[in-house]
Protein backbone atom coordinates (compact mmCIF):
# COMPACT_ATOMS: atom_id res chain seq x y z
CA UNK A 1 0.00 0.00 0.00
CA UNK A 2 1.38 3.40 -0.99
CA UNK A 3 -0.06 6.63 0.39
CA UNK A 4 0.84 10.04 -1.06
CA UNK A 5 -0.17 13.43 0.33
CA UNK A 6 -0.22 16.64 -1.69
CA UNK A 7 -1.48 20.03 -0.68
CA UNK A 8 -1.09 23.66 0.22
CA UNK A 9 -2.67 25.98 2.79
CA UNK A 10 -6.12 25.69 1.16
CA UNK A 11 -6.43 22.13 -0.17
CA UNK A 12 -5.16 18.63 0.47
CA UNK A 13 -5.20 15.56 -1.78
CA UNK A 14 -4.66 12.04 -0.45
CA UNK A 15 -3.86 9.28 -2.96
CA UNK A 16 -3.62 5.59 -2.10
CA UNK A 17 -2.55 2.69 -4.30
CA UNK A 18 -2.95 -1.00 -3.53
CA UNK A 19 -1.13 -3.52 -5.71
CA UNK A 20 -3.26 -6.64 -6.03
CA UNK A 21 -1.25 -8.50 -8.72
CA UNK A 22 -1.10 -11.58 -6.51
CA UNK A 23 -4.87 -11.92 -6.50
CA UNK A 24 -6.85 -13.91 -9.03
CA UNK A 25 -5.88 -15.15 -12.47
CA UNK A 26 -2.88 -12.84 -13.00
CA UNK A 27 -1.15 -14.13 -9.87
CA UNK A 28 -1.91 -17.73 -10.82
CA UNK A 29 -0.46 -17.14 -14.30
CA UNK A 30 2.79 -15.78 -12.85
CA UNK A 31 2.97 -18.68 -10.39
CA UNK A 32 2.39 -21.28 -13.13
CA UNK A 33 4.99 -19.69 -15.41
CA UNK A 34 7.51 -19.72 -12.56
CA UNK A 35 6.88 -23.44 -12.04
CA UNK A 36 7.13 -24.18 -15.77
CA UNK A 37 10.46 -22.34 -15.98
CA UNK A 38 11.88 -24.04 -12.89
CA UNK A 39 11.95 -20.81 -10.87
CA UNK A 40 10.85 -20.20 -7.30
CA UNK A 41 7.08 -20.54 -7.28
CA UNK A 42 6.59 -17.18 -5.54
CA UNK A 43 9.14 -15.12 -7.52
CA UNK A 44 7.72 -11.79 -8.63
CA UNK A 45 4.56 -12.08 -6.54
CA UNK A 46 5.52 -9.89 -3.60
CA UNK A 47 5.35 -10.73 0.09
Region at 41 (left for phi over 0; alpha for psi -120 to 50; beta for the rest) = alpha
How far is Cα 15 from Cα 5, in angstroms, rounded to an integer? 6
Look at residue 22 in the predicted model and tell me its pLDDT: 62
For 14-27, the DSSP string reads: EEEE---TTSHHHH
Predicted TM-score (pTM) above 0.75: no
- Residue 46's pLDDT is 74
Distance CA 13, CA 2 (A): 14
Question: Which pLDDT belongs to residue 36?
Answer: 95
**Which residues of the chain, if any, have pLDDT below 50?**
none
Overall residue count recorded for the chain in this entry: 47
Amino acid sequence: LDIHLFGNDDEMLVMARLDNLGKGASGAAVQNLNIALGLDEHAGLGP
